[in-house]
């Protein structure tokens, strides 16, 4: 998880090291009829990646999992390597007759959350634009791109006219290089804040919908035009925080962390950037 691997890549490895993922739970239920009601917390709503696909067939294999570990320079414990190299971790493949009576339905997705947020904004007279429900990549790079888009809206009224809110979901990644406390959403906000550089009238919120961004029960944070100055007043540099992967430390110091507690659901990350109408 610290390597920068995507959730799909992480789940490929997980599926080959589990007694229930990769279709094994579905096979264990055979010959009973099996209905899966899934809440999507992954980009693209791929059933294979939701909880690592416990009730659906998996076309990947142990060799794929080993290749991913090699790609990211990860040396697994000997016990893990033995399972993958010996084939004991092989998952359930498409066409397996024991999954013939299994069906799955998506009951909640990131797109649904974004559409609900857009409707909430429009009911209050704010134009809402959904940029995508499956945005991936390094959190700091996504922060730069969305920050540049927000500035174009604010300064040039392109491609949207303010006031408006830019909504997006998905699951970014963080290649951890520092020793700070953080998660992908606060990492995104640090990069966004540096890109915006105190631009007036632009505010943002980002968080994980399960209430946990990273490894702590902090859902995310709020960002405003004064965040850099507030951080400096508290003895915290936003740039230094980004380099140390210390989003929770920075936003906690300025009282901008969002703490919801467990939400008991998860439809991936939620990001909203509000651009006010120019004075």
What pLDDT does residue 1 have? 81
Q: Where does a domain end: 107, 137, 166? A: 107
Local structure of 267: helix, strand or coil? coil
Residues 138 and 237 in one domain: yes
Q: How far apart are CA 125 and CA 134, in angstroms?
A: 26
Q: How far apart are CA 165 and CA 262, in angstroms?
A: 26
Local structure of 219: helix, strand or coil? coil
Query: What are 13's two structure tokens?
Result: 């490895």
What pLDDT does residue 177 have? 93
Q: Classify residue 235 as exposed, middle or buried by CB count within 10 Å of its CB (0-12, 13-18, 19+).
A: exposed
Tens of pLDDT, residue by residue over 139-166, are 999 999 999 999 999 999 999 999 999 9
**DSSP H or E run through 220:** strand 220-223
Residue 243's contacts (CB-CB under 8 Å, 6 or more residues apart) are 177, 178
Residues 134 and 227 in one domain: yes
pLDDT over 90 (residue 212): yes
What pLDDT does residue 204 have? 98
Residues 153 and 72 in one domain: no
Domain extent at residue 145:
110-275
Residue 174's contacts (CB-CB under 8 Å, 6 or more residues apart) are 2, 4, 138, 139, 140, 182, 183, 184, 187, 245
Q: How far apart are CA 270 and CA 117, in angstroms?
A: 10
Residue 2, domain member (yes or no): no
Residues 151 and 242 in one domain: yes
Tens of pLDDT, residue by residue over 113-123, are 999 999 999 99
Residue 43's contacts (CB-CB under 8 Å, 6 or more residues apart) are 7, 8, 110, 133, 134, 135, 136, 169, 170, 171, 268
Residues 141 and 68 in one domain: no
Residue 36, domain member (yes or no): yes
Percent helix / strand / coil, the chain, rounded to 5: 40, 20, 45
Residue 190: HSE in the Cβ half-sphere, 13 Å Cα cutoff? 32
What pLDDT does residue 268 have? 93
pLDDT over 90 (residue 279): no
Closest-CA residue to 246 (of 147, 199, 177): 177
Q: How far apart are CA 269 and CA 211, in angstroms?
A: 10
Return the number of other C-beta atoms located less than 10 Å from residue 230's C-beta: 17
Query: What are 47's two structure tokens?
Result: 């059933």
| Residues, the chain | 279
Residues 152 and 92 in one domain: no
Residues 149 and 240 in one domain: yes
What CATH number is given to the structural domain containing 47? 3.40.50.10180
Q: Across residues 135-140, what is the average pLDDT?
A: 95
Tens of pLDDT, residue by residue over 178-192, are 999 999 999 999 999
Number of domains in the chain: 2
- Averaged confidence pLDDT in the chain: 96
Local structure of 50: helix, strand or coil? helix
Query: What are 132's two structure tokens?
Result: 């995508």
Q: Classify residue 124 as exposed, middle or buried by CB count within 10 Å of its CB (0-12, 13-18, 19+).
A: exposed
Tens of pLDDT, residue by residue over 76-95, are 999 999 999 999 999 999 99
pLDDT over 90 (residue 206): yes
Please report where in the chains the tokens 């550089």 appear, as a residue.
Answer: 197
Q: How far apart are CA 224 and CA 202, in angstroms?
A: 6
Q: Across residues 223-244, what is the average pLDDT?
A: 98
Tens of pLDDT, residue by residue over 21-77, are 999 999 999 999 999 999 999 989 999 999 999 999 999 999 999 999 999 999 999
Tens of pLDDT, residue by residue over 4-23, are 898 899 999 999 999 999 99
């Amino acid at each position: 998880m610290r390597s920068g691997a995507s959730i799909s890549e992480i789940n490929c490895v997980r599926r080959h090291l589990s007694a229930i993922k990769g279709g094994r739970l579905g096979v264990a239920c055979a010959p009973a009829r099996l209905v899966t009601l899934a809440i999507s917390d992954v980009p693209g709503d791929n059933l294979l990646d939701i909880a690592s696909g416990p009730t659906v067939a998996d076309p990947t294999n142990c060799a794929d999992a080993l290749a991913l570990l090699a790609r990211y320079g990860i040396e697994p414990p000997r016990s893990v390597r033995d399972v993958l190299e010996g084939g004991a971790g092989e998952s359930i493949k498409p066409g397996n007759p024991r999954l013939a009576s299994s069906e799955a339905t998506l009951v909640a997705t990131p797109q649904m959350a974004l559409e609900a947020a857009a409707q909430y904004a429009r009911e209050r007279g704010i134009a809402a634009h959904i940029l995508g429900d499956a945005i991936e990549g390094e959190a700091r790079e996504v922060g730069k791109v969305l920050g540049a888009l927000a500035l174009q809206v604010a300064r040039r009224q392109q491609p949207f006219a303010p006031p408006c809110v830019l909504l997006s979901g998905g699951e970014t990644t963080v290649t951890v290089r520092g020793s700070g406390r953080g998660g992908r959403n606060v990492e995104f906000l640090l990069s966004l804040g540096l890109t915006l550089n105190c631009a007036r009238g632009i505010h943002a919120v980002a968080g994980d919908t399960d209430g946990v961004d990273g490894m702590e029960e902090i859902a995310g944070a709020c960002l405003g035009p004064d965040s850099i100055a507030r951080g400096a007043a508290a003895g915290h540099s936003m740039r230094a925080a980004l380099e140390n992967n210390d989003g929770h430390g920075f936003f906690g110091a300025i009282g901008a962390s969002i703490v919801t507690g467990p939400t008991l659901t998860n439809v991936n990350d939620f990001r909203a950037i509000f651009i006010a109408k120019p004075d």
